[in-house]
C-alpha cells in the first residue's frame, strides 16, 4: 500500500510546490491590494510623502470629491503620522506642485450602473488619478491608501500603473434592522468600511415579524407600537442616505411583503388575512401572519405607506421582499379561497404574484423599479418535474409567466433561480453563498461567483432549501459545461452579502461582517480569475487592519467581551483558545430554539469568529506536514500540542467558579486530551497512515467527541487533525 502511494505523494509535493510558486507570483502581482484592480503593473518608483503633499482637483466633479479628498488626507496623516498643513481641499485651491492630481470628466450620480472606473499612475514626481466621474475618483483614493509603504527614509506610495473598473455593478451588503437594531453609528462605520473595499449598495431591510424600524408620519402606530423600541426618524434616514452618497454608495430599502409582516399587523391588524391578536415576534423563524391580498383597504394602506417610504429613499430600486410566505393564513380564510377560485389563481404563489403586481404598480407611480426574493419568480412545482424541465432546457416553464420583466430577482435559495432568471430575460442578484451570518469560511464565500460555471461552491448547504436541480447544475459545472451565453450573463447584476441579525448585536455586528465581506467585495469587483485563496487570506489579514482605521470594531470588541466574561484583564489564555474555536455554522444555533430578541449575546460563541487566523495557520501546518512529513514540520505540530496541554490548565484556572467560562474549559480540556494522545502515540510523525489501525480508531473517536459543540462553539482543529486518523 505504501509503495502504491509513493508516486501520488511525489505528485502532490510537485503540485504543492507549483501552487506555492503560483501563489508567490500572485502575491507579487496583487501586493497588498484588495480588491485587486483589473489591470495592475509596478514600475519600481517611489513617491515620497511629506508635509508638502497637497491635492489639486480639476475637471467637472460633484462637490463630494472635495470632502472625500479631505478625508483622504486625514486618513493619510493618521496612517503615516505626517503633519500635513491642512486637511481641507476646496474648489478654489490651485497648488503649484501638487503631490496628487485628480481629474474627472463629469459629475457622478449615485445610481445603478454609475461609472466607477479610474486610472491611476504613481510616479516619483507625482500621482495622477483620472476618472470619468468623481465616484470613480473616490474608488481610486481608496486604492492609493493601500499603496502606502515605508522604509528607513519614511513613507512613500508604491509606483504603479492601474486601470480599474468593477466586474459587477451591484456589490451589496444587507443589514436587517428588525431582529437586532443597528443604530446610526453602526450603519455609518459600515458604510465607511464598504467604501474602503469598493462596495456600492447598502440593502436597508426595514420591517419583518420582529419590528418596523423607521418613522412613519402617515401611519405613526408603525413606529410607536411596531418598532419594538428603537427606530430611525425621517431625518436620520436622510442623514444615512447623504452619508452613503458622499461615499458613492446607494441605499436600497426593503419592506418585506406580504409575509414577514407581523410587525405591521400588530399596529394595523385589520389588514391581516386572519383575525387574531398580533404581537411582535421575539423568536426567529418563518411565521404565518400575512396581509390579505384580496381587500382594497390593504392596497390603499400600502399606496400611502410605500409612497411615503419611497419619497425618503432616492434610489430607483425598492425591494418588496416576497419570501417565505407560508400561505397557511390564506388557506384559513374562506373569502380568500373564493377570490382565488374566481380569479383562476390555483396556488398561493399565483395569489402572491397577483399581490406583487399591485405593489409594483404602486411603486411605479413613485418611479421605482422593484426587486423581490426568488419566490416572486419561481413556479411551485415538485423536484422531479423541475429536473425534467431543466434537462429539456424548458426554462420558461420553471417561472411564473406574468412577472414583469423589469422585476429584479434576488436569488437566496440557490443557483436554480439565478439561472432561470437569466434564461428568461430577468436581471438578478446572487445572495446564496454570501450569507455571512451563517459563519462559513471566507474561502467558501470567496469561491462563490454570481456567474454560474465560475462557481466552485455550488453545493447544497444550509443556506439553500431550493435544490430541485442544483445538484444537476453542479454536475454540469464540474464537467465544464456552460449554460449561459454572454447576453444572459450580462443580466446578472452582481451579488449581495446578507447580514441577518438574529444572533448579532451592535457589539458583535462588525466581527460577523468584517473582514470576511472584504473577500466578497473582491469577488464582485476584481477579475474572475483572481481566485488564489492563500493570497486572499494573506491580503485579508492586512485589510482587516485597514478596516479598523475607519472605525470597525471587529477586532477590539473581542477583548472587551472576554474581559467582561472572565471578570479580569488576564485574558491571554482565553484569546489563545478562541483562536481555535468557531461559532456553529449554518442554522445549527437555532436548533435549541432558546434564542430570542432578548437573549444575552455576550457569551463565548459571540466572541468566536469564522476561520480565525490561528486556526487557519494550524490547519496549514498540518496540511504541509501531510504533504511532506519533514521533521521540522512534525516538531512545529508537537510544539503546538505541548502548548495545548499548558493552555488547558490556564483556562481551567481562569474559569474556576465562572459558569460563563464552562464551554471554554470544556474545549480547552478537549485540546489537552488530543495533545496528550498525539504526544504519547508518535507514529503520526511518519505522516498519514503512520498510526496503527487501532490508534487511528482511538484518535478518530477522540476527535469525534472533541468536535461536539459546547456553548454553541466547535473546536476547529478537529477537522485538519482528522487527516491523521484516516
Q: What cell numbers appear for 482 in the block?
A: 456552460
Helix (H, G, I), strand (E, B) or coil at 158: strand
Place of cell 472587551: 560
Distance of CA 437 to the CA centre of its chain: 8
Q: What is the CA 69 to chain-centroid distance, rounded?
A: 28
Q: How far, CA to CA in Å, does 312 sit from each of 110, 191, 303?
A: 15, 18, 15
d(CA 367, CA 388): 39
Q: Are strands 154-164 and 118-122 parallel, antiparallel or unpaired?
A: antiparallel
Contact 533, 446 (CB under 8 A): yes
Count CA atoms closer than 13 A to 715's CA, side-chain side: 26
Distance CA 562, CA 573 (A): 10
Q: Rounded to whole angstroms, how far apart are CA atoms 433 and 285?
A: 20
Span between the terminal Cα atoms of the chain, in Å = 14
For residue 159, is it left (φ>0), alpha (ψ between -120 and 50) or beta? beta
SS3 content of the chain, % helix, strand, coil (to 5): 45, 15, 40
Q: Give the relative orientation of helices 631-655 and 613-627 as an angle to the nearest 10 degrees.
A: 150
Q: At what angle do helices 348-364 and 334-343 cross, to 10 degrees?
A: 80
Task: Output the pLDDT for position 303.
Answer: 98
Neighbours of 34 (CB within 10 A): 27
pLDDT value for 591: 78
Alpha-carbon distance of 48 to 100, in angstroms, equals 12
* Angle, CA 287 vertex, CA 283 and CA 290 arms, to 5°: 135
Is-contact 186 553, C-beta < 8 A? Answer: no
Question: What would the grid cell of residue 301 be?
Answer: 394602506
Three-class DSSP category at 434: coil
Cell matching residue 545: 487592519
Cell of residue 696, nine digits: 487511528
Joined together, the cell numbers standing for residue 36 give 485587486
User: Which of the 8 DSSP states describes residue 368?
Assistant: P
Cα dihedral 182, 185, 190, 195 sign:
positive
626 vs 607: CA distance, rounded Å: 31
**pLDDT means over runs of 10, the chain (726 residues):** 32 38 49 96 97 96 97 97 93 92 97 98 98 98 98 97 98 98 98 98 98 98 97 98 98 98 98 97 94 98 98 98 96 98 95 97 98 95 92 95 95 90 97 94 94 64 66 80 92 98 97 98 96 96 97 97 97 98 91 83 97 96 94 95 98 96 98 98 88 95 97 96 90
For cell 447576453, the residue is 487
Residue 687 confidence (pLDDT)? 81
- pLDDT, residue 432, reads 92
Q: Give the number of other Cβ atoms within 10 Å of residue 360's Cβ.
A: 20
Kindly report whether the peptide bond that precedes residue 35 is cis, defined as omega within 30 degrees of 0: yes
- Start-end of H helices in 313-347: 328-331, 334-343
Separation of alpha carbons 557 and 535, rounded Å:
27
| C-alpha cell of residue 96 | 503649484
DSSP string, 405-418: TTPEEEE-S-HHHH
The cell numbers describing 18, all together, are: 507549483
Strands 581-583 and 713-715, by their bridges, are antiparallel
Using the structure block, give the residue that is written with the C-alpha cell 481641507: 88
**Residue-level pLDDT at 458:** 53
Q: How far apart are CA 514 and CA 610, in angstroms?
A: 10
Question: 113-148 burial string, b = 16+ CB within 10 Å, else e?
Answer: ebbbbbbbbbeeeebbbbbbbbbbbbbbbbbbbbbb
Helix (H, G, I), strand (E, B) or coil at 46: strand
Return the closest-CA partner of residue 503 out of 610, 373, 410, 659: 610
Strands (E), 231-383: 250-257, 317-321, 369-373
Give me the pLDDT at residue 475, please. 80
Q: How far apart are CA 644 and CA 648, in angstroms?
A: 6
Contact 714, 676 (CB under 8 A): no
Asked if 409 and 423 count as a contact pair (C-beta separation under 8 A), the reply is no
Tell me what pLDDT residue 456 has.
64
CB 330, CB 352: distance < 8 Å = no
Compute and round to an integer the Cα radius of gyration of the chain: 27
**Is 497 exposed, middle or buried (CB count within 10 Å of its CB: 0-12, 13-18, 19+)?**
buried
Rounded distance between C-alpha atoms, residue 354 and residue 583, angstroms: 41
Query: Whole-angstrom Cα distance, residue 194 to residue 247?
Result: 9
Q: What is the pLDDT of residue 277?
A: 97
Residue pair 499/512 in contact by the 8 Å Cβ criterion:
yes
Q: What is the pLDDT of residue 607?
A: 98
How far is Cα 82 from Cα 617, in angstroms, rounded to an integer? 35
CA distance 362 to 370: 10
Residue 5: CA count within 13 A, CB half-sphere: 9
Amino acid at each position: 500500500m505504501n509503495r502504491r502511494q509513493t508516486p501520488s505523494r511525489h505528485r502532490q509535493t510537485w503540485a504543492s510546490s507549483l501552487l506555492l510558486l503560483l501563489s508567490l507570483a500572485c502575491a507579487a502581482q496583487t501586493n497588498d491590494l484588495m480588491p485587486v484592480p483589473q489591470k495592475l503593473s509596478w514600475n519600481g518608483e517611489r513617491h515620497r510623502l511629506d508635509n508638502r503633499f497637497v491635492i489639486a482637483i480639476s475637471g467637472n466633479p460633484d462637490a463630494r470629491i472635495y470632502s472625500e479628498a479631505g478625508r483622504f488626507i486625514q486618513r493619510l496623516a493618521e496612517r503615516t503620522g505626517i503633519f500635513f498643513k491642512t486637511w481641507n481641499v476646496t474648489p478654489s485651491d490651485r497648488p503649484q506642485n501638487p503631490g496628487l492630481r485628480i481629474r474627472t470628466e463629469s459629475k457622478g450620480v449615485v445610481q445603478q450602473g454609475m461609472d466607477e472606473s479610474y486610472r491611476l499612475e504613481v510616479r516619483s514626481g507625482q500621482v495622477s488619478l483620472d476618472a470619468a466621474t468623481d465616484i470613480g475618483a473616490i474608488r481610486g483614493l481608496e486604492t492609493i491608501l493601500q499603496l502606502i509603504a515605508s522604509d528607513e527614509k519614511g513613507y512613500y506610495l508604491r509606483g504603479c500603473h492601474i486601470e480599474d473598473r468593477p466586474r459587477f455593478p451591484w456589490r451589496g451588503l444587507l443589514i436587517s434592522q428588525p431582529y437586532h437594531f443597528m443604530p446610526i453609528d453602526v450603519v455609518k462605520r459600515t458604510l465607511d468600511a464598504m467604501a474602503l473595499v469598493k462596495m456600492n449598495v447598502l440593502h436597508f431591510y426595514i420591517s419583518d415579524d420582529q419590528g418596523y424600524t423607521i418613522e412613519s408620519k402617515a401611519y405613526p402606530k408603525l413606529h410607536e407600537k411596531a418598532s419594538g423600541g428603537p427606530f430611525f426618524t425621517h431625518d436620520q434616514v436622510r442623514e444615512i442616505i447623504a452619508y452613503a452618497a458622499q461615499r458613492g454608495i446607494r441605499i436600497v430599502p426593503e419592506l418585506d411583503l406580504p409575509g414577514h409582516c407581523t410587525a405591521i399587523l400588530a399596529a394595523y391588524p385589520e389588514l391581516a388575512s386572519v383575525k387574531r391578536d398580533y404581537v411582535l415576534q421575539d423568536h426567529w423563524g418563518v411565521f404565518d401572519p400575512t396581509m390579505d391580498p384580496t381587500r382594497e383597504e390593504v392596497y390603499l394602506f400600502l399606496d400611502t405607506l410605500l409612497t411615503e417610504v419611497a419619497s425618503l429613499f432616492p434610489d430607483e430600486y425598492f425591494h418588496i421582499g416576497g419570501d417565505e410566505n407560508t400561505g397557511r393564513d390564506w388557506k384559513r380564510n374562506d373569502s380568500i379561497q373564493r377570490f382565488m377560485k374566481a380569479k383562476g389563481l390555483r396556488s398561493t404563489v399565483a395569489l402572491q404574484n397577483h399581490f406583487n403586481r399591485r405593489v409594483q404598480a404602486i411603486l411605479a407611480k413613485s418611479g421605482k423599479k422593484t426587486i423581490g426574493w426568488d419566490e416572486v419568480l419561481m413556479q411551485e412545482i415538485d423536484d422531479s418535474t423541475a429536473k425534467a424541465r431543466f434537462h429539456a432546457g424548458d426554462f420558461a416553464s420553471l417561472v411564473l409567466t406574468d412577472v414583469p420583466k423589469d422585476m429584479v430577482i434576488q436569488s437566496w435559495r440557490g443557483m436554480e433561480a439565478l439561472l432561470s432568471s437569466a434564461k428568461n430575460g430577468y436581471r438578478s442578484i446572487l445572495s446564496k453563498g454570501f450569507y455571512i451570518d451563517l459563519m462559513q469560511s471566507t474561502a467558501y464565500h470567496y469561491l462563490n461567483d454570481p456567474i454560474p460555471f465560475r462557481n466552485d461552491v455550488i453545493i447544497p448547504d444550509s443556506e439553500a432549501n431550493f435544490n430541485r436541480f442544483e445538484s444537476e447544475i453542479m454536475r454540469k459545472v464540474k464537467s465544464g459545461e456552460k449554460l449561459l451565453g454572454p447576453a444572459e450573463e450580462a443580466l446578472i447584476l452582481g451579488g449581495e452579502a446578507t447580514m441577518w441579525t438574529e444572533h448579532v448585536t451592535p457589539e458583535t455586528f462588525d466581527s460577523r461582517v468584517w473582514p470576511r465581506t472584504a473577500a466578497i467585495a473582491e469577488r464582485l469587483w476584481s477579475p474572475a480569475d483572481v481566485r488564489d485563496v492563500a493570497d486572499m487570506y494573506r491580503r485579508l489579514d492586512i485589510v482587516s487592519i485597514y478596516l479598523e482605521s475607519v472605525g470597525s470594531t471587529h477586532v477590539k470588541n473581542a477583548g472587551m467581551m472576554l474581559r467582561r466574561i472572565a471578570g479580569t484583564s488576564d485574558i491571554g489564555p482565553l484569546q489563545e483558545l478562541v483562536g481555535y474555536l468557531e461559532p456553529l455554522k449554518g442554522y445549527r444555533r437555532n436548533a435549541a430554539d432558546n434564542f430570542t430578541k432578548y437573549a444575552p449575546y455576550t457569551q463565548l460563541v459571540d466572541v468566536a469568529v469564522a476561520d480565525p487566523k490561528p486556526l487557519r495557520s494550524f490547519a496549514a501546518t498540518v496540511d504541509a506536514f501531510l504533504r511532506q512529513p519533514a521533521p521540522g514540520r512534525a516538531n512545529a505540530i508537537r510544539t503546538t500540542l505541548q502548548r495545548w496541554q499548558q493552555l488547558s490548565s490556564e483556562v481551567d484556572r481562569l474559569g474556576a467558579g465562572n459558569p460563563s467560562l464552562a464551554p471554554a474549559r470544556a474545549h480547552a480540556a478537549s485540546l489537552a486530551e488530543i495533545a496528550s494522545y498525539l504526544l504519547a502515540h508518535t507514529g503520526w510523525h511518519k505522516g498519514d497512515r503512520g498510526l496503527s489501525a487501532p490508534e487511528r480508531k482511538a484518535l478518530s473517536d477522540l476527535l469525534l467527541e472533541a468536535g461536539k459543540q459546547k456553548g454553541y462553539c466547535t473546536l476547529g482543529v478537529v477537522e485538519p487533525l482528522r487527516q491523521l486518523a484516516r
